[in-house]
């Protein structure tokens, strides 16, 4: 895969191909935008374009050939001049940043550039960010750092201000659908699932490609990884019902399940507001809940939906700090009651 193969990100791709052609490369970039829209893949493809042995140049833009030994090594994750750092257990520690600094300080072995890609860079802890800042202030020659982040606001200003920011946008539903279909043609894609665990088959997904594209809200990567909200819908409604009926024992096994629930709640509230305002099921992102949504839309005032949305987003922000499951459960139960979820709760809870 080369830069030109990244779909739906025309602006950043053009910028990067032009800078590769002109040899005007920033010492640090910040690729930011929602998860699952191609930031990390673009970073890898940019690394390929910068170090490619047989780059493809047209009209003042340079791209990788994706076939030479350098490109193949980057694809396989074994290029000695390209390192990728990822968070382990939601944190990037100082040791990893030290390793990055050491690697960048050496001369390139094979390529023209030493390139470090830091995925989910906002998960650097304070010590790591401080160590990293020194590297940004005095970047080693011929080195390029690419920070990838879905929450750039959580990076220290001092780090952010030293990077060239490159914004990535969500894709259109049609573009996402095209990507899902292409991937389905080449391999079996793990699909959406209840709480992102049980993987569905390629056949299941083929049937639901259009729905998945809508649910992804422009983020094909989430659909491909099976992390979409809206999957496992029955489970979601059951959890809401348990909350509204006074069950105090949280149903979520872990933080990931909690985050998945909140994603689904966001989608649900969005659709509830659409149903309330328009009454048109055709505009729902997830028609699976059409019946419940049209019932609820009769009971719940618009301002309550908006207020619930805002409160739910505060809860989502608190997830970063490993909050107590029971507290979040009880808080969400209050929100569920305000939404009159008990009016649509299935019997038996
Ligand atoms: Zn190449």
Q: What is the pLDDT of residues 185-206, one digit of tens each?
A: 665 444 444 444 445 555 555 5
Cα–ligand 1 centroid distance for 21 (angstroms): 14
pLDDT in tens, 203-226: 555 556 777 777 777 888 877 777
Q: Give DSSP secondary structure letters for 35-104.
A: TTSSHHHHHHHHHHHHH-SS-EEETTEEE--S-SHHHHHHHHT--TTEEEE--BTTBB-HHHHHHHHHHH
Q: Nearest to residue 79, comparing CAs of 92, 64, 62?
A: 64
User: Do 65 and 4 meet the contact criterion of CB atoms below 8 Å apart?
Assistant: no
12 φ/ψ sector (left φ>0, alpha ψ -120 to 50, else beta): alpha
Per-residue confidence (pLDDT) for residue 9, from 0 to 100: 94
Q: Dihedral of CA 66/84/223/274: which sign?
A: negative
Fold type of domain 233-343: Zinc Finger, Delta Prime; domain 3 (1.20.272)
For residue 288, the CA-to-ligand 1 centroid distance in Å is: 45
How close is the Cα of 270 to the center of ligand 1, in Å?
44
Q: How far is the CA of 57 from the centre of ligand 1 (A)?
A: 12
- Calculate the CA 84 to chain-centre distance: 17
Contact between 269 and 312 (Cβ < 8 Å):
yes
CA 322 to ligand 1 center in whole angstroms = 43
**Domain spans in the chain, listed from the N-terminal domain onward:** 3-167, 173-225, 233-343
* Fold category of 3-167 in CATH: Rossmann fold (3.40.50)
Please give the Cα distance from 264 to 210 (Å, whole number): 18
Residue 205 has what pLDDT? Answer: 52
Q: Measured in angstroms, how far is the CA atom of residue 346 from the centroid of ligand 1?
A: 58
How many whole angstroms from 231 Cα to the centroid of ligand 1? 39
* Same fold flag, 3-167 and 233-343: no
Report pLDDT for 194: 40
CA of 63 to the centre of ligand 1 (A): 8
Beta pairing, strands 143-149 & 164-167 = unpaired
Please tell me the predicted confidence (pLDDT) of residue 220: 84
- CA 99–ligand 1 middle distance (angstroms): 26
Taking the whole predicted model, whether its pTM rises above 0.75 is answered as no
Tokens representing 106 are 């050496």
Q: What is the pLDDT of residue 159?
A: 93
Which residues of the chain fall below pLDDT 50? 188-198, 347-349
| C-alpha of residue 141 to centroid of ligand 1, in Å | 22
82 CA distance to ligand 1 middle (Å)? 14
> What is the 218 CA–ligand 1 centroid distance (Å)?
29
HSE-CB at 245 with a 13 A cutoff on CA atoms is 14
Buried b / exposed e over 110-122, threshold 16 CB at 10 Å, is ebbbbbbbbbbbb
Helix axes 255-278, 233-244, angle to 10 degrees: 90
Is residue 230 a contact partner of residue 264, using CB atoms and an 8 Å limit? yes
**28: β partners:** 145
In this prediction, residue 29 carries a pLDDT of 97
Q: What is the pLDDT of residue 229?
A: 62
Q: At CA 202, angle to CA 269 and CA 66, rounded to 5? A: 100
What is the Å distance from ligand 1's center to 312 Cα? Answer: 46
């Amino acid at each position: 895969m080369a830069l030109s193969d990244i779909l739906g990100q025309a602006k950043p791709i053009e910028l990067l191909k032009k800078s590769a052609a002109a040899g005007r490369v920033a010492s640090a970039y910040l690729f930011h935008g929602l998860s699952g829209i191609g930031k990390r893949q673009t970073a890898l493809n940019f690394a390929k374009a910068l170090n490619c042995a047989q780059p493809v140049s047209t009209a003042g833009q340079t791209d990788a050939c994706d076939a030479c030994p350098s490109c193949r090594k980057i694809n396989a994750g074994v290029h000695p001049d390209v390192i990728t750092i990822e968070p382990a257990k939601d944190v990037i520690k100082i040791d990893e940043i030290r390793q990055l600094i050491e690697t960048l300080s050496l001369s390139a072995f094979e390529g023209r550039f030493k390139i470090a890609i830091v995925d989910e860079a906002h998960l650097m802890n304070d010590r790591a960010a401080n160590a990293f800042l020194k590297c940004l202030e005095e970047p080693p020659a011929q080195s390029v750092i690419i920070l990838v982040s879905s929450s750039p606001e959580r990076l220290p200003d001092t780090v952010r201000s030293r990077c060239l920011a490159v914004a990535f946008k969500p894709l259109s539903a049609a573009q996402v659908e095209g990507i899902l279909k292409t991937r389905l043609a080449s391999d079996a894609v793990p699909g959406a699932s209840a709480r992102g665990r049980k993987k569905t088959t390629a056949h299941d997904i083929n049937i639901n490609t259009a729905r998945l594209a809508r649910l992804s809200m422009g983020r094909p990567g989430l659909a491909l990884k099976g992390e979409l909200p809206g999957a496992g819908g029955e489970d979601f409604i059951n959890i809401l019902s348990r909350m509204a009926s006074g069950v105090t024992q949280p149903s979520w096994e872990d933080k990931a399940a909690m985050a998945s629930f909140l994603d689904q709640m966001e989608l649900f509230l969005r659709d509830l507001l659409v149903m309330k305002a328009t009454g048109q099921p055709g505009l729902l992102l997830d028609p699976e809940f059409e019946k419940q949504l049209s019932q609820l839309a009769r009971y719940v005032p618009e301002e309550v939906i908006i207020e619930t949305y805002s409160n739910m987003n505060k809860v989502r922000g608190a997830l970063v700090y490993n909050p107590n499951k029971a507290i979040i459960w009880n808080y969400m139960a209050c929100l569920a009651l305000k939404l009159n979820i008990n009016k649509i709760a299935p019997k038996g809870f």
